[in-house]
Chain A
Amino acid sequence: MTRSLRLAIALVALLAGATPDLAGATPDPAAAVDLADTPIVSVGGAVTEIIASLGAADRIRAVDTTSTHPAAAVAGRPNVGYMRQLSAEGILALGPVRVIAVEGAGPPDVLKLLAEAGVRIDRVTDEPSPAGLLAKVRTISALVGRKAEGEALAAEIEAGFAALAQDRATRTAHPRVLFVIALQNGRPMAAGAKSAAAAMMGLAGADNAVSGFDGYKPLSDEAIVAAAPDAVVFMDRPGLTAADLLALPAIAATPAGRRHAVFGMDGLALLGFGPRAPAAARDLMAALDRHLAGAPK
């Protein structure tokens, strides 16, 4: 009874004198521990992958829904939800943590609340290109205090891209690829310009069969036929198979459909621009070669 009475009095007082600066609960000084040992809330698929590649997977306390790889960094960890819908109290409830988030994580007000509560938040810029990936690796390795590992990883990735560039230079044929990220009501959502898929096609020595729009858009049947892709690559996910796509008359009517050059690739590896990007581009190149081998041009 006295407790609820005190609560009521406190509330009335609060409401009467509530001003925005009441939020000024100062961060606990004890919370400002050494950042190098602070558990990490890793937000963004590529961020989690890079932290794990730097050998710091054991420091990841929680991940977001876009982080699905590797299992060592993700399995058994609490999930803080979609990267743009984070929960302030949810993250604070994880104990003393720091947040390393890919650019675009949010909502901004939640990040503001976290920062006000004394949580260190670092944002990592994310550009779907080899240079962007190397920058991401260097930024994150500095943030987690593993610069040496970061340089080694960056060198490895650079070597991978360099080898890929050499392979590309020896090729004369540039297959036209239609990348399907998902089927929407039976219609393929295709990758246009300025998408991570288009960037990966370029790295794998292929051309994007569709143009005229940015990002991912549903394609009409006629646009698919007109694009005349030599191969159709889709994002591996439950409920989407090569047979589903080949069953679409428009796709069956393309060169890719006629020679059954329709295959799936791992989405995060191919589109996430994480440490696996060079290998994924190489896989794409090899898969294209395999499916188009001996095909009449």
Chain B
Amino acid sequence: MSAAETVAIADLTRARRRTGRIALVGLGLLAMAALVLSLGTGPLAIAPDRVVAILAEAATGRAVTGTDAAVVLAVRLPRTLAALLAGGALGVAGALMQGLFRNPLADPGLVGVSAGAGLAAALVIVLGDRLVGAAALPAMALPFGAFLGGLATTALLYAVATRGGRTSVTILLLAGIAVSALAGAGTGILVYLSDDRQLRDLTFWSLGSFGGTTWSKLAATGPLLALALVGALTLARALDALVLGEAEAQHLGIPVERMKAAAVVLTALAVGAAVATAGVIGFVGIVVPHLVRLIAGPAHGRVLPASALLGAALLAGADTIARVIVAPAELPIGIVTALIGAPVFLHLLIGRGTRLA
């Protein structure tokens, strides 16, 4: 390699790093903008300076009165924070899965969380209504059930795919398909048993919504989402090494088995807690990491935080639209994320598709 070539490569690396840094800053600003937009807009018109005043008053610990204060503090703030956290966690979970499976089609659903959570939600909605009646069912039964269902399914998958301390990613993937189909059949039986209203509940749940995010709900799921987010960021170097292959990563000193376990647990945690917060929100987990790689390159040190920021911005922005567009009613957020995200993704694919290959 000539000296000139070495310099050229060093330049290229530096340029890449710079783009990555700029992309991170840009996405950070985007997430901030989504936060401000989400707190500042809604069906109830509140002047921006009044929103700021309410937040400032509340921050100093004083009681603020008025309907607008109740809307900002009890409705917008918890659901905005929930959307940011859930979006970030889902984005990161997608990046984790795509890194672990070394497959661009991987999404957080692969480790069975979504299917398990869906089955548990159907159990709560249909059987809970039959056994104790919808009115007597505690409000936390559905999120809690969905969270446990997701985690239990992932634990089962992990046990199936692990033999003698080694986890086979291929068996994890294939068993995931089998277990998801099984959970789908269980959900199908419950759908058959359900009445008209339970069916509508299930449908709406599977489209997701941050409506009805209370502080107590956020207090329960928020820390789990944050934990998954932060935990995932620590896996960047290991995932980069894994790109070379499992054996090669092992030779580089990466504790591969522990890393796989961590990636699966963190994904289950992220998706389980997101599902408990807002029902099923598809699309974010699979598409956000791709969008990020198109703008920030493939290094996981950038992809993971950038996926968190873009996921957060996308969900908070989508939730704002969901709240406003059919006011005083509300659109399920899954519709909005796909409606905005899919065309953007397609556009990027058409423009720069060759870089994905």
Contact = CB atoms under 8 A, between A and B. Distances in A.
Interface residues of A, number: 58
Contact of A25 (B39, B73, B196): B73
Interface stretch (A88-96, A142-150, A168-176): A88-96
Contact of B75 (A27, A94, A113): A113
A79 B329 contact: yes
A92 B56 CA distance: 22
A4 B120 CA distance: 43
A90 B327 contact: yes
A216 interface: yes
Nearest to B78: A23
Interface in A135-185: none
A93 B43 contact: yes
B74 interface: yes
Contacts of B65: 25-29
Given A11-B55, A22-B73, A87-B323, A118 B67 contact: yes
A93 B135 contact: no
A224 to B, nearest CB: 18
Interface stretch (B157-165, B206-214, B299-307, B348-356): B206-214
Contacts of A79: 328-329
B15 interface: no
Interface in B183-215: 192, 195-197, 200-201, 204, 209, 211-215
Contacts of A85: 204, 209, 211, 329-330, 332
Given A25-B63, A104-B134, A117-B70, A10 B44 contact: no
A124 B216 CA distance: 27
B73 A88 contact: no
A84 interface: yes
Contacts of B328: 62, 78-81, 87, 90-91, 93-94
B26 interface: no
Interface string B44-83: 1100110110011011110111110111111111100100
B124 to A, nearest CB: 13
A21 B78 CA distance: 12
Q: Helix, strand, loop or mixed for chain B's interface?
A: helix
Given A14-B77, A25-B73, A104-B197, A89 B56 contact: no
Contacts of B200: 82, 84
B21 to A, nearest CB: 21
Contacts of A93: 42-45, 71, 327-328
A89 B329 contact: no
Nearest to A4: B36
A113 B211 CA distance: 10
Contact of A14 (B43, B55, B135): B55
Given A81-B326, A93-B327, A6 B70 contact: no
Interface string A187-224: 00000000000000000000000000011110000000
Contacts of A113: 74-75, 212, 214
A103 interface: yes
A85 B73 CA distance: 21
A34 interface: no
A76 to B, nearest CB: 14
Interface in A207-243: 214-217
Contacts of B212: 88, 107-110, 112-113
B139 interface: yes
Nearest to A116: B74
A295 interface: no
Interface string A270-284: 000000000000000
Nearest to B204: A85
Contacts of B195: 214-216
A43 to B, nearest CB: 11
A215 B51 CA distance: 47
A118 B65 CA distance: 11
A117 B55 contact: no
B135 A25 contact: no
Nearest to B219: A20
Interface in A87-136: 87-94, 96, 103-104, 107-110, 112-113, 116-118
A31 interface: yes
B73 A110 contact: no
Interface string A1-26: 00110110111011101111111111
A118 B67 CA distance: 8
Nearest to B58: A22
B17 interface: no
A15 B71 CA distance: 18
B284 to A, nearest CB: 21
B228 to A, nearest CB: 18
Given A28-B66, A113-B74, A113-B214, A89 B55 contact: no
A107 B200 CA distance: 12
Nearest to B218: A20
A75 B59 CA distance: 43
Contacts of B102: none
A92 B213 contact: no
16 contacts: A22-B77, A23-B74, A24-B63, A27-B65, A62-B328, A65-B329, A80-B329, A81-B330, A82-B329, A85-B204, A89-B323, A90-B329, A93-B44, A104-B134, A113-B75, A116-B74
Given A25-B70, A88-B211, 11 more contacts: A6-B56, A14-B59, A22-B73, A23-B215, A26-B65, A28-B65, A81-B328, A81-B329, A89-B327, A90-B327, A217-B192
Interface of A: 3-4, 6-7, 9-11, 13-15, 17-29, 31, 62, 65, 78-82, 84-94, 96, 103-104, 107-110, 112-113, 116-118, 214-217
The 3 closest A-B pairs by CB, nearest first: A81-B329, A90-B328, A109-B212
